[in-house]
A = this chain, B = another copy of it.
Amino acid sequence: MALSLLVVGSVALDSVRTPHGKVEDVLGGSAVYFSVAASFFAPVRLVGVVGEDFPGALRQVLEGRRIDTAGLEVVKGGQTFRWRGSYEGAMNEARTDEVQLNVFGDFRPALPKAFRDSQLVFLANGSPATQMAVLAQVEKPDLVVADTMNLWIETARDALVELLGKVDGLVLNDAEARMLTGEANLIRAGERILAMGPKFVVVKKGEHGALVLAHDGPRESIAEGRLVCPLPGFPCPVVRDPTGAGDSFAGGIMGYLAREGRQDFAHLRRATAYGTVVASFTVEDFSLRRLERLRVEEIEGRMKQYSDMLRVE
């Protein structure tokens, strides 16, 4: 049986423009991308907040799958978090054109009692203080992984460093890893992050894939010694909208770990490969569209392709 998996993060209405088209007020948010991605592997408990304006049809996207929305707070009279962004050229970086925090600005996550025994916890991008407040509500997690962003590295470094002492894993992108550590070399940046507390770090590199580093691993299950694994991005000839790639990548990782119930380095590496594969589907269409129509067999098929591509021995 899968381990219980909790995610706390944003639920948003996104408006996105890319060279391939544009969409308005579509389903988005870190907790949403994470949950839908993870739900292909294991049931997910979602904690987030929306306003009364959040369309029932979008809620259906979550409730039609193995996602427990008991923790999705609806603020009466409130407006849902809105993000407007755009991508150009190789689409490696989102430009934020407008943010309306709305109800997400006052979000003080309260875990439903039934979620407090969660075994795997993903703290999606948010202020380290909020992430810490969530962590305090989980009784005895097996594995806690956090995401973060440049904003918190710049404005809340002390709180972030404190958080790093309390989590098992950190997911962040390459620019953030360099910013957090002041180290240009990514491997050494990763090593410095490990020295700050986490037992593993996953550095996201967009289309270039990811780098996984661990020392003695999530809890005691990883063998002695630092471990490193670079994984390329899955080659995507069609990238319509990169939004949510990072969160669905994390969802694939955590979902796989929840399903397998093990967190040694070989499983973490395979989990990262699954995350890579799920993210490669996410970017094929706007919003959650591709994930909504994705089937588990497609994930397994692409995973097989991916592992065949990497067979170099």
Contact = CB atoms under 8 A, between A and B. Distances in A.
A285 interface: no
| Identical copies in the complex | 2
Contact of A230 (B187, B228, B232): B232
Nearest to A207: B186
A211 B228 contact: no
A229 B308 CA distance: 9
A237 B312 contact: no
B232 A231 contact: yes
B185 A239 contact: yes
Nearest to A174: B90
A191 interface: yes
Interface string A198-236: 000000010111010000000000000000111111111
A306 interface: yes
A209 to B, nearest CB: 6
A185 B90 contact: yes
A309 interface: yes
A74 to B, nearest CB: 40
A241 to B, nearest CB: 13
Interface of A: 19, 89-91, 178, 184-188, 191, 205, 207-209, 211, 228-239, 269-270, 272-273, 303-304, 306-313
- The 8 closest A-B CB pairs, nearest first, are A230-B232, A307-B313, A273-B312, A208-B208, A310-B310, A187-B237, A90-B184, A232-B232
17 contacts: A90-B184, A90-B186, A91-B184, A185-B237, A186-B207, A187-B237, A205-B208, A208-B209, A209-B230, A228-B309, A229-B309, A230-B233, A269-B309, A272-B312, A303-B312, A303-B313, A310-B310
